[in-house]
Each structure stands twice: as C-alpha cells, then as structure tokens.
Amino acid sequence: MTSGWEDQRLEAAFAARATSATRPIADLTDLTIERLRREPRPRSAVTRLGASAGLAAVLAVVVIAVIGIGFRDRDPLASVSPPGTATIGSAGSPGPSAEPASLPAKSVGAAIAMRDASNESGEIRVAGWLRGGVPVPCPAPMRPYNPTQLWCPQALPWIVESVADSGVGRLNESPSGPGIQPSFALVDADALPSLMFGSAPPAAPVEITVTGHFHDRRATLCSSPGDCWTSFVVDRIDSIGGIARPVTTSYDLAVQAEKGTTSSGLEIPPPTGPAEQFDPAVMSQGHRLAVLSRRVMSIGGLVDAEPALAGGWAAIGTATTVTSITAVETEEGSGPPLPITFLFPDRGPQFYEMTADGPAVAGNLAVQAFPDLLARVGRPLTVSATIERRDHALDATELLVAGWAWAPGSLFCTLIRPGEPVLDQCPSTLTWLADREPPPVKGSAFPRPDGPAINLVIPPESVNLARLDTKPTQVAVLGHFDDRRAAACPSGLVERCRRNFIVDAILDPGRLALDATLATTVHPAPSNIPKGTASWAANAAGLPGTDRPNRLISAFPIAVAALGALEPDLAETSSTAGIDAVWLVHFLDQDVAGNAIVRTRLVIDADPAKGPAQVFDVTADGMSPALSAAP
Amino acid sequence: MDAVYRLTNAILGDEADARDAAQEAFVAIWRQLPRLREPERFEAWLQRVAVNAARMTIRSRSRRRVREIPSSTVVARAERAAGAPPDDAAILDAALAALPVDQRAILVLHHLEGRPVAELAVILEIPEGTAKSRLFTARRALADAIEQDRGHRR
C-alpha cells in the first residue's frame, strides 16, 4: 500500500466514506416492492426461505437475513458455497480473455448448470458432440417465428456431452446424458452436416464447438416463453469435426443476396457491400466488442429474427435488406460477456443496437469520404477480418483496414537486410495495426497489441504517413498482401513476405481520401535533379489530372542507382542502362477480376519538352512497355 | 435492503447508480430465490448478486453515456475544487473512481465488509489464489490512483 495508507487507515476511510453517503432507503424499499409486484411470481421461492407472505415479506426476509447474519459476524467459510461454478467472463474467468475464441469451452453439463444457476444471457462456449435429429414428418412452421423457439424439436439435432450419451441407434430417444437442443436459427446452419436434421439410420455424432447463450431477450415474445427462456441460441459455430471456422455471414432463407431475388421471386436489390464492411462500426462501439456472426436479411427475414419488429420499424426507410451483426463484449471484469446485436439497414446513414425495447440508434455510418475511394476498395475492414482474408484468401487485392496504429519512432535497427522492401524486419516488426487500443505501457516500453493485430510493412514509396505516431492512433490503412516483390525475398522467406501487409497510405479515418498533393511530393529525395515533374510523370503513366483523385498513390523520382531498394528486380536492367533517374508511379487500378490492386509504372526521366516519355509496367515478371499509358 | 445499498453505493460511489443497482439486485434475488439450494449460504449469495448488479449498472451507465450526477457528488467536487483540504474519505472516493468496477468490488468487500481472502473467493466465485492476487493488484492500483490524485492536487 502507498506510504501512510496502511490497512487501518484504509478501512477507516472506507467506513467514513460509507457513512457519509446519503441513504434514501425508505423510498427505495417502496419502489423495489412496487417493482417486484410486477414480476412473475417465482415458484417455491418463498417456501425455500420458510416465509409464506407476499412480496413485502420476501423483501423483509431478505433484509432480516442480511441484518441477522451480520456483515462482520460471518458464517465460517465451510458454510458458504464452494468455488467452481464461475460465470464466463465474470471475475471467475482467468487471464485477459479478449477473443470470443478464448472463452473457455464448457462441457454440455457445465453449460446446463450455468443455465440453471442464473438468468444471465452471457455467452457460453460449449464443446460437445452434435447428434442428429430423428426423421419425422414436421408441419410447416407457423408464424411468427422466434429464434428461441424450436419447431418440431424431434427433427432437430442435439449437442451432447459424449458419444456414449448420444442415444444414437435408439430412434425417438433423447440422449441418455447431458444434452441441449440448440437453435441454429441465427447462424449459417448450412455449415452443419445435413444428416443432422434427421436421417435413417441416424448419422454418427460429430465434434462441435459453438458459442451462444441461454435466456435470450426474444424468449418473452415466444408462444412458450418458459421453454424459449432455456433455449440455447447459437451465435457462432466455432468448429465442426475439429476444424475451426472463421466468422461467417449467413443469409436468411428469403434472401439470396448474390442473385438479388427472394424465393418468392420478388426482386430485392443486393446489399451495397459485403457484410464485413460494418465490422469497424461495431468495433467503434467500444466495450472491446468482437464479432461473432453476421446475417443478411430481407425485411421478412428481419422480422423472423427479431420478432419485436413485427409491428413495423419506421427507421427502416427504403432499405430492402438489413445486415445484423452479433458481437460479444470481451472487456474483462465488466460482467458476463453479453451478446449485442447491431442492425444496419442497407443504404441507411445510421445503425442500431437491438434491445428488448426495440432498436436504439447506436451510431452514424456517414464518414467524410471521397466516394470513389470507397467504391474502389470498399468500406474499411477490421484487422481481424483482414487476418481472416490473409489466412483464407491470400491475394494482392487492395484493402482499407481501420484500427489503431503505432510505430516505434526513432529507433536504431540492427541486422537489416537491405533491398528487401516487403520483408518484415525492424522497424516493421514493431509497427502495429490492431483492432483495439493497446494497454498503456510505462517508460520507454513499446506498446504491445491486445487482440488481433498485424505488423505494418512500410516500403519507401508509401505516402500519407502523417497519421502514424508512436502513440496509438486511430487510422485507416490502405495496403495489400501478396506484394509482387515477395518473390525477391530471400529463399525460404517468400511465403512469409507474401503474408506481410504492405502499406500504401495511412489515412485519417474521418477523411478517407488519398491526398494528391502529398502524392506528387518528391519522396524519397533523389540523388540527382530530375528533368521531369511529378505531374508530367503521372500524365505519362496514364493518369491525367482528372483521373488522379483517390487513384494516384504516389509519383516520385529516384536515382537508378537506388532503384534496387524499392524494386529489387529492377536493380540491373537493360532498360535503365545509362539512365540517371526514373519516376515510379503507383496508382489504384483493377485486375481482370475487377479487384482493386496497386499498379506500378516506371517512367524514364526526361525533359517534358523533348518528345514522348518512355513508360513501363512493373510487374512480377519485370518491366514491359506500358501499352495503356499515355503517349 | 440497507446492506445491499451500502455495498452497491460503496462500489459505485454514486447515489443514483447505487439505487438502481440495489433495486436490480433485489429483482434478481426475487427471481433466483427458487434456485437457492441452501439458505444458510444466503449471505455470500446476496453479496455476489449485489456485486453483479453493480457491474451491470456500470456497464449500462457506460452504454447510456449520459447519467445523472447527484447533488452530493457535485457539492463534494465543488468543495474539492475550491481547495478544501480533502479528508481520507474524499481521497479514497476520488481514487476508487479511477479503478475498474471489479477492483472496487474486491476492495469494498475486503476493507469495508471485512471479508477475508477465502470468503472473497467464494463470493466472487474465483479460486482463493486468484482472489489473493486480484486483491493485491487492486490495492496496488488504488495506491497508484491515490498517488496520481495527490499529484494533481499539488
């Protein structure tokens, strides 16, 4: 304890603080009794405590019990319940749990015990065996739907604790051990083996891990609230058959977003962008939210998922699709990690948090942006979505990623390999982009990410870096994986280089625009004086002034002798033999599949007044004359 | 009710929030009474419910973004701002406000309610070793907060 604040003084201060607090207890007691009168009467509540009177009596029993037992004259430890029934995410959770995947997996039996121990709707990660349902004829489900209600439960799968308890082989029998029948209504149930929804003979159980919750807010709107209250609503399928699954987007049965039509044939315009585009808005809500799942729905599908909206929702406006994102709070110590559902009406400027009382405005999606930059690269992704993309669909598509970035500042790096612009080496290994602000550090220590993060590899041609600081700052980074220069990395490190995130620009998240002024600034300084200008070089590369906003990333001269530091493959080429300087022009373009990519053109420095410029495309195969550049 | 309010007020340091939390605690107690298997364990259970209600109130407070500030708090802050010498309770109040709710809870349970480490473990449903280390961490955080507050007053 700090000097002068030993136990005795501290306890006296606590006591004085408690004594000085105002205590308007009488009215609070009345208010509480009044509120309890409106609560449903719990079964056998009174008899357990030996009282038989009404609400006031129970409250009185509670008060008397507390006063009677006394706060300082406690029962011995043996008389209180043992530890071991901790609620996930409560003070009982070990370590700085941050990711939903790091929620400790519970057995089915433990999950059932948690369900019965509290009315919390905290997220629980359950590991068990998925056992198929029974192939029975089921009537068509009746509206209104409710995700907490199991329709024709005999045909639905179980999650059981062990294969031995699954009851497989005994048709029409429930599992012989602990089992729950989860609702997969809000996730991508296509991921489940279809045999699990009834087959003869019954399918063999498969390992499964899911994250979900009991006591869903929608249970009160269900036709059988008691049953629905104990339904386990799955928010994410973490793994099936031992294979981990990324965060996925599901589509409700009425919407086929890719085709833009419903099963009824009604034309529905597809959403204006991928569901992932809203992840940063969710992350910006604080509370260290992590996305569990996304769902794209028609308005009809929305009502099925959110029965509270059956009476209509004025704010939906003209939207024909709504993206729902379920996230979980991961902030340690803030109580059980509750699921939070956000609704994003398509084309709407605002998004909403769905509560038991209906949607509440959570934020505004409008950002000051040049529309064509977002049209080229899409809305910003989160770092975790970017990592997923790297791990599951590695390519050179240009990405805009929002997060917290920081760099080590002035630092003496040793053992640097020269001429490796896309290799992750100091200081890139200390330069981070993370989904969350890192915990503060003391002294000269470098902040370390707390959650999903990637290193930013910043090659010399990167511009618009003013937002990068030693202090973690919110930024939007334009960059890409799978840079063509990875092939020039040392043998054995090529794949690692392909997975590095190469920065093209670091932007203000409130102003998502490439700054053309900075882009044409000489950078890095050449060792000689160029004859041409940046504007001339950009023109020559095929980007006239009208085409530069939000397309031109950089245009700068460089001495041929130094070219190898930026373009290892061009260090010695016949095309630049005898030439003092060249211009490198980087700009956004599309590949044959329509994906945004960064294209590089090399312009031989020359006097603009003396004839057409020589322009080359720089690709993974080297230099070739640019056919599409301006003459 | 008095005891629950005393606990929530000590943790939250805010009359309005403490009243909300105490009421929520009693609603939770009313709902969960059927699951109380052993009434002799009532006290630890009650305190656990109250601590959880305080946690939930903190969370909803942060989501509301706007909250009422009771007049007593305003007066206390005004007195502090006016240069009145702070007493230990005021110093403690300011330092606790800088701590996360879980750290406040464990400090209140130990130093106000007099719960030893073993009982903290039971109330908070954590292993005893964890309770001990969390109490240590909370005390260190409180010491830092007091030092910081002292620095600001200089």
Q: What is the pLDDT of residues A247-280, one digit of tens each?
A: 888 876 454 434 444 444 444 555 556 677 788 7
Which chain B residues touch A122 with a CB distance below 8 Å? none
Q: What is the pLDDT of residues A497-510, one digit of tens each?
A: 999 999 998 887 77
When CB atoms are compared, the residue of A36, A75, A119 closest to B26 is A36
Determine the distance from the C-alpha atom of residue A574 to the mean position of all C-alpha atoms in its chain, rounded to a whole number. Answer: 48
Q: What is the pLDDT of residues B127-148, one digit of tens each?
A: 788 888 888 888 988 988 888 8
Q: Which residue has the tokens 């700052």?
A: A473
Q: How far apart are the first and last CA of chain B?
A: 40
Give B67 to chain A, closest Cα distance, Å. 17
Task: Tell me if chain A has a CB within 8 Å of the CB of B141.
Answer: no
Determine the distance from the C-alpha atom of residue A141 to the mean position of all C-alpha atoms in its chain, rounded to a whole number. Answer: 33
Contact across the interface for B36 and A49, Cβ inside 8 Å: yes
277-296 of A, contacting B, C-beta below 8 A: 286-287
Which chain A residues touch B108 with a CB distance below 8 Å? 14
The encoded tokens of residue A494 equal 């090529």
Give B135 to chain A, closest Cα distance, Å. 11
Which chain B residues touch A328 with a CB distance below 8 Å? none
Instruction: Look at residue A55 and tell me whether its pLDDT is greater than 50.
Output: no
Domains and CATH numbers, chain B: 2-153 (1.20.140)
What does the angle CA B93 – CA B99 – CA B103 come to, to the nearest 5 degrees? 105
Neighbours of B66 (CB within 10 A): 5
Give B121 to chain A, closest Cα distance, Å. 7
Which chain A residues touch B86 with a CB distance below 8 Å? none
In the prediction, which pLDDT does A124 show? Answer: 93
Cα separation, A261 vs A274, in Å, equals: 17
Which chain B residues touch A92 with a CB distance below 8 Å? 124-126
Cα separation, A129 vs A179, in Å, equals: 9
The encoded tokens of residue A516 equal 């053309």
Task: Tell me if chain A has a CB within 8 Å of the CB of B70.
Answer: yes
Q: Which long-range contacts (CB under 8 A, 24 or more apart) does A251-254 make?
A: A251/A295, A251/A296, A251/A297, A252/A295, A252/A296, A252/A297, A252/A298, A252/A300, A252/A301, A252/A304, A252/A305, A253/A301, A254/A297, A254/A298, A254/A300, A254/A301
Task: Tell me if chain A has a CB within 8 Å of the CB of B66.
Answer: no
Query: Where is pLDDT greater, at A283 or A230?
Result: A230
Task: Tell me if chain B has a CB within 8 Å of the CB of A15.
Answer: yes
Q: How large a percentage of chain A has pLDDT more than 70?
A: 73
- Average pLDDT value over all residues in chain A: 75
Region A128-138: what's the mean pLDDT?
A: 80
Backbone angles phi, psi at A179, to 5 degrees: -155, 150
Q: Which residue has the tokens 């390999």?
A: A417
Domains and CATH numbers, chain A: 24-79 (no CATH), 100-246 (no CATH), 251-366 (no CATH), 394-512 (2.40.50), 516-625 (no CATH)
Amino acid letter at A132? G
Contact across the interface for A21 and B52, Cβ inside 8 Å: no
- Contact (Cβ atoms closer than 8 angstroms) between residue A165 and residue A131: no
| Most distant CA atoms of chain A, gap in Å | 103
Cα separation, A18 vs B3, in Å, equals: 11
Give B87 to chain A, closest Cα distance, Å. 9
DSSP, collapsed to helix, strand or coil, labels residue A597 as strand
Amino acid letter at A250? S
